C-alpha cells in the first residue's frame, strides 16, 4: 500500500468529491443512458449527502487522492423483480490505476458494516461479472436472472 492507508468516508462528509464520484459513475455505467450526464448523476447523488442514512455513498481515498466508491440504496436499478429485498449495495468502483490493491474489498466490507450499523439484517447486490470477487468476501448467490446474479450478505430474506 505504500505510505498512506486507505480511508473510507461517507460522501455526506466529503461533498467536495461529489463531482468526482458522479464522473466515475457516469463513465463506468451511464454513458449510454439517454439524457444522463455527469451533472445528472451529481444531482442524483445530492440525495446521498445526509449522513448515516440510505441512500449512502462511501468514498475511498489514498492520502488526498479519491480512489473508489460504493453505494447503499433501498433499491438499485434493475432490481424491480425482487421488491422485497432491500437494501442493495451498488456502484462499487475503483479507479483503474488503483485496482488490485484490495480497495474494492475494503469498500464492500465497509458498506456491509455500515448497513449493519443501520440495523439491516441482509444486504443484496446485482452483478454480471464479479460473482467470484463477491463470493470471496462472503456473499452468497440468491438468484440468477439472464446475465445477472443476485447475491446476499447476512440474513437474507428467502425468495
The string of DSSP letters for the chain reads: --SS-EEEEEGGG-GGGHHHHHHHHIIIIITTSTT--HHHHHHHHGGG-STTSSSEEEEEEETTEEEEEEEEESS-TT-TT-TT---EEEEEEE-GGG-SSSHHHHHHHHHHHHHHHTT-SEEEEEESS-HHHHHHTT-EEEEEETTEEEEEEESPPP-
21: domain CATH number is 3.40.630.30
pLDDT of 1 > 80? The answer is: no
pTM above 0.85, yes or no: yes
Domain count of the chain?
1
pLDDT digits (tens, 9 = 90+) for 140-159: 999 998 889 999 998 656 65
Residue range of the domain that includes 93: 6-154
Amino acid at each position: 500500500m505504500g505510505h498512506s492507508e486507505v480511508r473510507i468516508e461517507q460522501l455526506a462528509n466529503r461533498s467536495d468529491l461529489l463531482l468526482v464520484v458522479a464522473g466515475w459513475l457516469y463513465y463506468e455505467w451511464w454513458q449510454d443512458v439517454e439524457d444522463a450526464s455527469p451533472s445528472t448523476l451529481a444531482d442524483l447523488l445530492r440525495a446521498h449527502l445526509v449522513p448515516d442514512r440510505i441512500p449512502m455513498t462511501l468514498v475511498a481515498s489514498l492520502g488526498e487522492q479519491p480512489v473508489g466508491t460504493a453505494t447503499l440504496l433501498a433499491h438499485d436499478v434493475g432490481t424491480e423483480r425482487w421488491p422485497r429485498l432491500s437494501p442493495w449495495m451498488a456502484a462499487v468502483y475503483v479507479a483503474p490505476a488503483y485496482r488490485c490493491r484490495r480497495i474494492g474489498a475494503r469498500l464492500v466490507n465497509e458498506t456491509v458494516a455500515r448497513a449493519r450499523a443501520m440495523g439491516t439484517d441482509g444486504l443484496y447486490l446485482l452483478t454480471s461479472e464479479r460473482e467470484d470477487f463477491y463470493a470471496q468476501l462472503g456473499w452468497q448467490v440468491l438468484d440468477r436472472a439472464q446475465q445477472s446474479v443476485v447475491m446476499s450478505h447476512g440474513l437474507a430474506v428467502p425468495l
